[in-house]
Structure 1
Amino acid sequence: MLAPQRRPRSSSTRSMTPSASRRARLYKALFENRTPRRGSGGIVGPQDWLLYPALLAVLATLVLATDLPLPFGWDLPEPVWPVALAFAWPLIRPSFIAPILLGLMGLFLDYFWGAPLGFYVIGLMAVHAVTLIIRSYIVGQDTWVVIGAYTLAVLLFFTLGVIMTTLDSGVVPRLISVFEQMLATWCLVVVVLIQLERFLNSDVRFN
């Protein structure tokens, strides 16, 4: 049995079929140029990766500074929370708002912990500036590279702190206490990785 022969498609029908280039442009317009959004449906704004983390860092500093009774006479750790933000923010996206918030948080720490005016501001700005300079060597690298770079940033911050304290008071601070606070601050690398995963790796506008 012979199969029925198909009639040739008319020119009017062929004109209704989009060409390959037209389909490519349509796909690009629909999918590639869409505004990246978070999973919750809202657009990622500066308040999400700058303001809210800064407020949470201040709140965490206040909470951990409370005198809560712990077993064995231990005290709550008091990491320098803004150090994690001073490192993460330049990696997420260079912004002129970040240094302003870091300066405000540094002044808050100066007042809260009774440090000389500008003590924490200088340390946070140094971490932010150095991270911004080497940003291209960190973004897109393996997690261990980020952890190693954050370790160096913590060392830079506390080394500057020891030097400035020694110059201001003429006495070297108790290095055991400095190491304990440095270790607690280094543990905030988890916060850095969460920030990078949430904003840098999930939103193409930050790449």
Structure 2
Amino acid sequence: MKNNRSIQRCLSIMRAFRGAGRPTLAELARAVDLPHATVLRFLQTLEEEGYAAREDSRWRLTPQVFELGFAAMDSLGVTDAVQEILQKLADAYSGTSNLGEANPEGVIIIGRAMAPAERRRLVVMNLRVGSVLPPSSALAGGLRLAAGQWSRYDYPDSNQVSVAVPLPQAGSRVLSVGISVDVSEVVGNRLEAEMVPALQRAAETISGVIRVGVV
């Protein structure tokens, strides 16, 4: 099947906004390695559809782009019910919970929740929905495990511990759920006796929600 180069180029231009603030036409053209006229044509189309806006010589994406993001989250099964499960998990251990799906580069975060205490931390990893974690991460490790197993990864520089488990019966999708917490949260045998079972229960529930499409 022949690829649609126009769609590929448009998506490339939209991705170029990430981390670029409000770039100029020249900056975008350089980032995607396309002629200025080509990039301008796509930007004008995005502007007409309400997805981009021009301010003097600089461009920005508009809040209407969120519509695409919300549609993507719904199609991935990351509904309000799933987000609530992730939030309860994060709150229970004053950490950050993540739902991940297999990605060629490791695992991509498709759901994420943070406890209030974690949001106040001065040192927080710059991760968000859409971020890709490497194969060495606990969340990626969880993808490769059988039911009942769990993975762990330690981050001594930030005093963080990450633990993850696989999602059972997710059909053709390969998913895992994990949580990152301060090392003080895993004293004694709390990780094995409490945190891992909580993750496994959350994995079972999320898997059921995704399968039946509960909202």
Length-normalised TM-score, structure 2: 0.35
Higher strand proportion, which one?
2
| Larger RCO (alpha carbons 8 Å, 6+ apart) | 1
Higher helix proportion, which one?
1
Q: Larger Cα Rg: Structure 1 or Structure 2?
A: 1
